[in-house]
Copies of this chain bind each other. A is one copy, B any other.
């Protein structure tokens, strides 16, 4: 809808998206098309305000002349413990990374627990201890919290919400999904799909075993190193969680109007992750990472950006995986080894529920 020319006669303003009928389904939680429809039709109108509108990983507010990022995330991963981490690590790293994607260094986290009656105290302590260790690793205090207990059968062990506030780096003020420009380079900070694959295997339902660990990690240090090296040449930062790299890139393409063109051969995927995904018929581009940042950076600074990222322990596997282009506007393409190209669309359903 154009805001420039008012309609000739008064008509009710159409809703941005039609409200889904019926009931909430697992697909509404997958981060793809159904999630977007739900958010746009149910939440955006009721919560309408300028800070919410950009739908980034967090909101940025002015407090006493300082840009402060504010973000929230609930974590419902099943199982709660998996190779490479736990609910506790995810809950801290996920929110630290949402702040990092706003170009912010974390200042403080909150922690809200919804615990199912009967959850072992020892397991709760393991989750909480992991949160404490992850917070220490990220250099952020957990300053406030809340605990609720629900009856048996009204939860799944433990759900954790973390919210975070952080100070936005002054070199990162133009960051937004809409800031991608044709010509920009697209970088990923490491191999994709480790986290989702590790959780999937930990469920033990597939009869597959493979040596895959979650990539969950706090990326605030990596982002600081990147901004130190190339500052405002970074146009977009997004951590690739639910829906994977493909979903994040679709959001960037849609918000910026640019095309994102990937080169299949350049996308880092561990052989064991590629193997599991092939067995299951899942594209690793859609599998959640919890310690990987998608970086869109001005082409002329891409080399410096890549060097800075590779110099950081959590970015050693960084790679340029594609570029922003003018056409096809708003779409994500993947050019294959055989010289073809396919559209990498936004997910419709949810192949991997409860992954984070």
Binding site for B on A (CB under 8 A): 19-26, 28-30, 35, 38-39, 42-43, 45-49, 51-52, 58-59, 61, 63-66, 68, 70-76, 107-108, 110-121, 124-125, 128-129, 131-132, 135, 141-151, 153-156, 159, 161, 163, 165, 167, 353-354
Q: Do B114 and A159 have beta carbons less than 8 Å apart? A: yes
Q: Do B68 and A145 have beta carbons less than 8 Å apart? A: no
How would you classify the secondary structure of chain A's contact residues: helix, strand, loop or mixed?
Answer: mixed
Closest CB of chain B to A158's CB: distance in Å?
8
Q: Do A146 and B73 have beta carbons less than 8 Å apart? A: yes
Taken together as a complex, chains A and B put the C-alpha atoms of A65 and B64 apart, in Å, by 8
Closest CB of chain B to A185's CB: distance in Å?
28
Contact for A24 among B43, B144, B149, B165, CB less than 8 A: B149
Closest CB of chain B to A59's CB: distance in Å?
4
Chain B residues, CB < 8 A from A25: 117-118, 149
Identical copies in the complex: 2
A131-B47, A142-B49 given; A153·B153 CB < 8 A: yes
Q: Do A115 and B52 have beta carbons less than 8 Å apart? A: no
Instruction: Please name 24 pairs of A and B residues whose Cβ atoms are closer than 8 Å in the assembled complex, sorted by A.
Output: A19-B121, A22-B121, A23-B117, A24-B121, A24-B149, A25-B149, A26-B149, A29-B115, A47-B145, A61-B107, A61-B108, A61-B143, A63-B68, A64-B64, A72-B145, A72-B146, A72-B163, A75-B148, A76-B154, A110-B163, A150-B159, A150-B354, A153-B153, A155-B155
Taken together as a complex, chains A and B put the C-alpha atoms of A131 and B75 apart, in Å, by 21
Q: Do B354 and A128 have beta carbons less than 8 Å apart? A: no
Taken together as a complex, chains A and B put the C-alpha atoms of A20 and B124 apart, in Å, by 11
Q: Do A128 and B52 have beta carbons less than 8 Å apart? A: no
Q: Do B72 and A117 have beta carbons less than 8 Å apart? A: no
Chain B residues, CB < 8 A from A76: 114, 148, 150, 154
